[in-house]
Chain A
Amino acid sequence: MTIPAAVLEPEASPQATAEERWRALKTVSPGDVVYRTVLTVFALLLPLVLVTIALELGVNAWPAVAKFGFGFLTHSTWDPVRGEFGALPLIFGTLYSSLVALVIAVPLALGCAIFLTEFAPRWIRTPAATLIELLAAVPSVIYGLWGIFVLIPLLRDHFWPVARHALSWLPIFGGVFYGPSVLAGGVILSIMVLPYIAAVSREVLLAVPPSQREAGLALGATRWETVWTVILPYGRAGIIGAVILGLGRALGETMAVTMVIGNRHEVSASLLQPGYTIAAAIANEFSEAVSDIHLSALFFVGAVLFLITIAVNALARVLVWRVARGSAIGSTAI
Chain B
Amino acid sequence: MRHVIRAAATAAVGLVALAGSLSAQAEIRVTGAGATFPYPIYSKWMLEYTVVRPHVQINYQSIGSGGGIRQFTDRTVDFGATDGPMTDSQIAVVHGNVMHLPTVLGAVVPTYNIPGVNAKLRFTGEVLAGIFLGQITKWNDSRIAAINPDVQLPDQDIVVAHRSDGSGTTYIWTDYLSKVSPDWAQRVGKGTSVNWPVGLGGQGNPGVANTVKQTPGSIGYVELIYALQNKIGYGAVRNSAGNYIDASLESTTAAATAAVSALDENTDFRVSITDPAGAQAYPIASFTWLLVPKQISDPVKGRALVEFVWWATHEGQKYCNALGYATLPDRVVQLEEQRLKSITVNGTAVLPAGYGRRGR
Contacts and interface: CB of A to CB of B under 8 A. Distances in A.
A258 interface: yes
Interface string A171-188: 000001011100000000
Nearest to B194: A81
Contacts of B67: 287-288
Nearest to B64: A287
B66 interface: yes
Interface string A263-298: 111000000001010001001111111100011000
Interface stretch (A14-22, A42-50, A72-80): A72-80
A153 interface: yes
Nearest to A181: B200
Given A179-B214, A180-B211, A287 B201 contact: no
B66 A81 contact: no
Interface in A144-166: 148-149, 152-153
A284 B203 contact: yes
Given A79-B194, A81-B191, A153-B214, A285 B199 contact: no
A176 B157 contact: yes
B195 A274 contact: no
A58 interface: no
A61 to B, nearest CB: 16
A295 B200 contact: no
Interface string B148-191: 00000000010100001111100000000000000000001111
A152 B166 contact: no
B201 A288 contact: no
B63 A287 contact: yes
B167 A80 contact: no
Contacts of A77: 195
A23 B251 CA distance: 91
Contacts of A280: 164
Given A81-B188, A262-B200, A274-B201, A289 B193 contact: yes
B194 A178 contact: no
A152 B212 CA distance: 13
Interface in B82-111: 84, 87, 90
A264 B215 contact: no
Contacts of A303: none
Nearest to A78: B195
Interface in B324-351: none
B33 to A, nearest CB: 10
Contact of A264 (B167, B191, B200, B218): B200
Nearest to A180: B200
B64 A152 contact: no
A141 B69 CA distance: 28
A234 B17 CA distance: 66
A258 B189 contact: no
Nearest to A281: B164
B202 interface: yes
A26 interface: no
Contact of A287 (B166, B188, B207, B218): B166
B195 A288 contact: no
Nearest to B165: A284
Given A80-B194, A82-B189, A288 B214 contact: no
Contacts of B165: 283-285, 287-288
B321 interface: no
A284 B66 CA distance: 12
Which of A80, A178, A262, A264 has the most chain B CB atoms inside 10 A of its CB?
Answer: A178
Contacts of A178: 159, 200, 215, 218
Contact of A262 (B157, B193, B201): B201
Interface string B1-42: 000000000000000000000000000000000001000000
Contacts of A57: none
Q: Say what secondary structure dominates the interface of chain B.
A: loop
Nearest to B217: A178
A258 B163 CA distance: 11
A178 to B, nearest CB: 5
Which of A80, A153, A264, A287 has the most chain B CB atoms inside 10 A of its CB?
Answer: A287
Contact of B200 (A80, A81, A263, A284): A263
A259 interface: yes
B288 interface: no
A225 B254 CA distance: 78
B215 A179 contact: yes
Given A284-B165, A290-B84, A148 B194 contact: no
B192 interface: yes
Contacts of A274: 200-201
Given A148-B214, A153-B214, A290-B84, A80 B201 contact: no
Given A288-B64, A288-B167, A295-B66, A264 B203 contact: no
Contacts of B201: 180, 262-264, 274, 276, 284
B135 interface: no
B332 to A, nearest CB: 24
A289 B194 contact: no
B203 A258 contact: yes
B51 to A, nearest CB: 31
Interface in A118-153: 148-149, 152-153
B286 interface: no
A139 to B, nearest CB: 15
Contacts of A82: 189, 195
Given A288-B65, A288-B166, A294-B193, 11 more contacts: A79-B195, A81-B190, A148-B214, A152-B214, A285-B165, A285-B166, A285-B193, A286-B64, A287-B66, A288-B67, A289-B193
13 contacts: A80-B192, A82-B189, A149-B210, A153-B214, A263-B203, A276-B201, A285-B193, A286-B66, A288-B193, A289-B66, A289-B166, A289-B192, A290-B191
Interface of B: 36, 63-67, 69, 84, 87, 90, 157, 159, 164-168, 188-196, 199-203, 207, 210-211, 214-215, 218
- Top 3 closest A-B pairs, CB basis? A288-B166, A263-B201, A287-B64
